[in-house]
Amino acid sequence: MKNILTRRTIRKYSGRDIEPALLNRLLTEAARTQTMGNLQLYSVVVTRSVQGKEALAPAHFNQPMVKQAPVVLTICADFRRTTKWAECRQANPGYDNLLSFMNAATDALLFTQTFCNLAEEEGLGLCYLGTTLYMPQNIIEALKLPKLVFPVATLTVGWPAEEPPLSDRLPLESFVHDEHYHSPTSADINRYYAAKEALPENREFVRINHKQTLAQVFTDIRYTKADNEAMSRGLQEALKRQGFI
Amino acid sequence: MKNILTRRTIRKYSGRDIEPALLNRLLTEAARTQTMGNLQLYSVVVTRSVQGKEALAPAHFNQPMVKQAPVVLTICADFRRTTKWAECRQANPGYDNLLSFMNAATDALLFTQTFCNLAEEEGLGLCYLGTTLYMPQNIIEALKLPKLVFPVATLTVGWPAEEPPLSDRLPLESFVHDEHYHSPTSADINRYYAAKEALPENREFVRINHKQTLAQVFTDIRYTKADNEAMSRGLQEALKRQGFI
C-alpha cells in the first residue's frame, strides 16, 4: 500500500471497462478480511447496465459518477444467506435484531475498505458514496433486496481520468487518545482546525456560501439537523421493513 | 498488499512492544481513508497500561488477547469533536440522531480496516474483537467516552507469536450478485456451504458441541437469538445514553 499517502477520491473515469476477471479477483481477495464467526455477513451487487445505473442514480442525488463509472458496487449487510443456511440445516436463526444488523454492517464495511485499498493499489479510481444511508428504500427497491439485506456502502469504480489535489487531514492528536478519551477544549479545537480553516479552498467555500465560518457550511448546508433527522426516520423505517428492528 | 491472501487473525503475541512512532505512523496513514465530508468522524483510544487492559477485559469476555497484547485500540464513532468545533464557531450542530451515528460508525470502520491492512503489511498481528458492540456500556465507562462518542471496533495488536492455519471462505458466487439480489435457493445453499461443512475442523466442532449441523453451532451456541435480543436492548440503551437516539 505504498500509494496510501497519495490516495484521492476519483470521480471522473476513462471509457475503459473493468474486466470481470479483475473485479472478481479483487472481490475474492477482499473476502480475506476478518469477518464475524467467519460468516461473511455481506453481499455485493454489481451494477454494469445502463438501466441499473439509472435506477440507482436518484438515490445518490443523481451524482454523475453513478452513470459514468463502468461499475457501481452496492455493498450490503446480509443476514439473509446465513439465515437461509440455518433454515436448510434444522437450525433456528435469530438475526432479526439491531445487534445483528450492526454485526453485518460491520462485516460489510470492513470488506468494503479492503476492496478499496486493493482496487486503488491496482490503479483503479473510486468514489465512496456516503448517500447510501440517506434514502436506502430506493436502493432496496432498485436492487430487489430481500429482508435481512440492507445497503451500507456504494462505490463507483473505474480507471481514473483525473488527478485531483490531496485533501487535508486533521492532526493525529485530534483523534488519538491515550488510555481514555480527553474531551477537546476550545483551545484544542482552535489548534486542531486551524490549518483546515486557513486553506484557500475552504475560505472560498465559506465565501461563496455566504457563511461566517467553515463549520457553518457543514451545519447549515451540507449536513443539517433537519435533514439528518428526516433521514434518520427514513433509515429507521427501512431497517424495520428489512426486518432488522 | 501482497500478503492479503495469507492474512490470518493473530491471538498470540511476542513480548516485543510496539514503538509509539510506528503506531502513530500507521494511524496517520490510515487517516488517508475517505471520510464523510472530510470530517474524520472517529477517534482511537490507545490502551497500553495494565490497568487499562484490565478495565477493558470484562467487556470482551476476558479473552486473553486483551491483556496479552502490547496495544489495544478501541475505535469509536465520534461526532463529539465535530460538534464541539461547531459550537466554537457559531454553528448549530445536529448530529444527535441515528443517521449521524451510522455515518460516524462507517467512518470509524473504514478507518479501522485501512489500519488493519497497513499494520498487517508491516508484519504486525491483529485480532478484531467483535465483542465491542456486545456490552458497549462497559467500554464507554472504562474509556470515559462522552456523549456522541461510541465504541464500534476493538483491535488487539502485537508482533505475532503464532501462525494459525488460513480460515476458509465461501465461494464468490455466494456473495456477489449481478445487477440485483438473487435470493439463494436450498440447492444454492448446499453448493455454497458444502466445502465449509466438510472441513475436518468444522465436523469436529459439530461433534464436540453435540449438534447435528454446523449451522446449529452458530444458532444454538455462538450467536443465539436470546443473546442477540438481549444485547440489542443493551446496544439501544447505550446509543440512547450516548445521545445518538
B4 shares contact with chain A (CB less than 8 Å): yes
Nearest to A6 by CA among B27, B115, B118, B32: B32
Cα–Cα–Cα angle for A172, A176, A179, nearest 5°?
150
Query: With b meaning 16 or more CB within 10 Å and e meaning fewer, what string describes B93-119?
Result: bbbbbbbbbbbbbbbbbbbbbbbbbbb
Residue A203: inside a domain: no
Among A218, A46, A129, A41, CA closest to B106? A129
User: What band does A1 get if pLDDT is binned at 50, 70 and 90?
Assistant: confident
* Predicted confidence (pLDDT) at residue B49 exceeds the cutoff of 90: yes
With respect to residue A29, please indicate whether it lies within any of the assigned structural domains: yes
In a domain, A79, yes or no: yes
Chain B residues touching A235 at Cβ < 8 A: 98-99, 102
Rounded percentage of chain B residues whose pLDDT exceeds 90: 99
ipTM, two decimals: 0.98
Q: DSSP assignment, residue A217?
A: I
Domain range for B52 is: 9-164
Tens digit of pLDDT for each residue in B197-226? 999 999 999 999 999 999 999 999 999 999
Q: Is the CB of B181 less than 8 angstroms away from the CB of A133?
A: no
Residues of B in contact with A39 (CB under 8 A): 218
Name the residue type at position B20: P
Residue A2 clears pLDDT 80, i.e. is over it: no
Residue with grid cell 483525473, as numbered in its chain: A162
When pLDDT is cut at 50, 70 and 90, the band that residue B1 belongs to is confident
Q: Do A184 and B81 touch (CB under 8 A)?
A: yes
Inspect the interface and report whether the beta carbons of A105 and B100 lie closer than 8 Å.
no
Does A224 score more than 90 pLDDT? yes
What is the value of pTM for the model shown? Answer: 0.98
Q: Pick the residue from chain A with its C-alpha nearest to B150.
A: A181
The secondary structure of residue A219, as a DSSP letter, is I
Per the domain annotation, does A196 fall within a domain?
A: no
Q: How far is A52 from chain B (nearest CA, A)?
A: 7
**Predicted pLDDT at B215:** 98
Residue B218 lies in a domain: no
Q: Residue A133 in contact with residue B99, Cβ under 8 Å? A: yes
In a domain, B144, yes or no: yes
Out of A90, A103, A179, closest to residue B130 by CB: A103
Residue A129: φ, ψ to 5°: -95, 105
Residue B207 lies in a domain: no
Q: What is the CATH number of the domain that holds A8?
A: 3.40.109.10
**At residue A25, does pLDDT exceed 90?**
yes
Q: How many domains would you assign to chain A? A: 1
Nearest to A169 by CA among B143, B56, B196, B41: B41
What is the reported pLDDT for B3?
86
The verdict on residue A219 lying in a domain is: no
